[in-house]
Amino acid sequence: MSNIADTLRSTYESGTTRSLAWRRHQLEQMNKMLTENEAAFLEALRTDLGKPAVEGFITDIAFVTGEVETMIKKLKKWNKPERVGTPMFNMPAKSHLVPEPLGVVLVIAPWNYPVQLLLVPAASAIAAGNCVVMKPSEVSAATSALLGQLVPKYMDPSAVSIVEGGVPETTDLLSQHFDHIFYTGNGTVGRVVMAAAVANLTPVTLELGGKSPVIIDESADLRVTARRIAWGKWLNAGQTCVAPDYLLVAESKQDALVEELRKAIGEFYGADPHLSDSYGRIVSPRHFDRLESLMAGGTAAIGGDTKSDERYIAPTVLVDVDPESQLMSEEIFGPLLPIIPMKSVADSIAFINARPHPLALYVFAENKNVVSNVLARTTAGGVTVNGTLMHLTNPNLPFGGIGESGMGGYHGKAGVRLFQHLKPVLTRGTKIDPSIAYPPYTDRKAKIFRRVL
């Protein structure tokens, strides 16, 4: 690991990565890797997660190529010095913010979207002018192996490296000196990453997770609401960091909502989701066992079926939920959806605010005052109104958490800026050099200073 870090450090110090042409070529090569090997990536995603081909294309392949195409298009503009204002007392002068790369960046990715969540932050770091070490998750082993094989073939190995392995390899990587560490995963490991970064005072970005709530007001269109919740929840079999984790629904609407969810599940996955080509699987036996045990926190109104040999858990809606159960105390990260009836939106807001700030929050309401109230009185990493997940698909909106759900945001320009230092530069002219700025400080000068400062 030290050899890898030293090689990348040497490349960075050579100035290779500061060239916009080099950055553009690396980004083009990343997209070329994905498009030329699309079938292989989709097969690896199917092996790891039972991910349907269309879903894998949309969420892992097209998501990355779209982000990277935007970076290529905006590369020159985003890396151009930005002119800012200059106060009168600095005159004659001009001021700029000059984007410069940080150096060598480490990106540690999770298993649930193993292509997207590795390559998008890595692409952002490259577009910013850095060298990058990529660490894919060993849990999504097939995708990790494919990335390990292809990245060195398509990208500059002196500046872009990929390291496969598990905890020992990650621990060794974290002991090296990096200029930024980007980690996506759970809070427990996030604390380990942050503690390791302290040794070198390395800045970190943590994309964590938590329990992303959904508020459903009496004014919501239940058919549309159910379809959009079902899509966001059961995409990737619920293994999404911003998936709806639990529903807070007006008491009078609970039964109707359950029926609309039942219809939506039938429309999406048929009478038996186990037979559907559009529904994925749980990533590992360990995660399957954890999810199966969480079902004890409520009663299955829909679904509840499992097949351990296939790591299959049906789309499941749970009612009569115990608020003190593990189901409601830890992030579900699977296809279980608890519903909790609430007397009012104010009660829903209080319920959310009594818990750690979520990575995402969703509110469904036709009443604009309800939406405004929720937005004003809650805090979350990001919000979609009358929808789920969609806020993270807009490259013009930074994606990230707050508090226990993470720190720092990326995507689009925000992702490039994350891996840069905006260096303040003030340049003074020399043709005019007013003597008022220099001693001796007379009464006349003092009066002028008080007037202009």
What is the identity of the amino acid at 4? I
The whole-number average pLDDT for the span 66-88 is 95
Residues 6+ apart with CB under 8 A from 28: 72
Of 450 and 353, the one with more pLDDT: 353
pLDDT at 408 over 80: yes
Q: CA Rg, the chain, in Å?
A: 25
What is the identity of the amino acid at 247? L
Residue 70 tokens, joined? 């935007």
pTM assigned to the model: 0.94
What is the identity of the amino acid at 78? W
pLDDT tens-digit series, residues 139-153: 999 999 999 999 999
pLDDT at 438 over 80: yes
pLDDT at 89 over 90: no
Domains in the chain, CATH or no CATH each: 2-208+406-425 (3.40.605.10), 213-400 (3.40.309.10)
pLDDT tens-digit series, residues 254-293: 999 999 999 999 999 999 999 999 999 999 999 999 999 9
Can you give the pLDDT at residue 448? 86
Residue 116 tokens, joined? 């997207």
Q: What is the mean pLDDT of the chain?
A: 96
pLDDT at 3 over 80: yes
The whole-number average pLDDT for the span 414-440 is 92
Residues 6+ apart with CB under 8 A from 312: 274, 281, 282, 305, 306
pLDDT tens-digit series, residues 11-63: 999 999 999 999 999 999 999 999 999 999 999 999 999 999 999 999 999 99
Can you give the pLDDT at residue 90? 84
Provide the annotated active-site residues.
Answer: 207, 241
Least Cα distance to 313 among 292, 286, 299, 330 occurs for 292
Place 416 in a pLDDT band, splitting at 50, 70 and 90: very high
Can you give the pLDDT at residue 12? 96
The whole-number average pLDDT for the span 167-179 is 94
Place 433 in a pLDDT band, splitting at 50, 70 and 90: confident
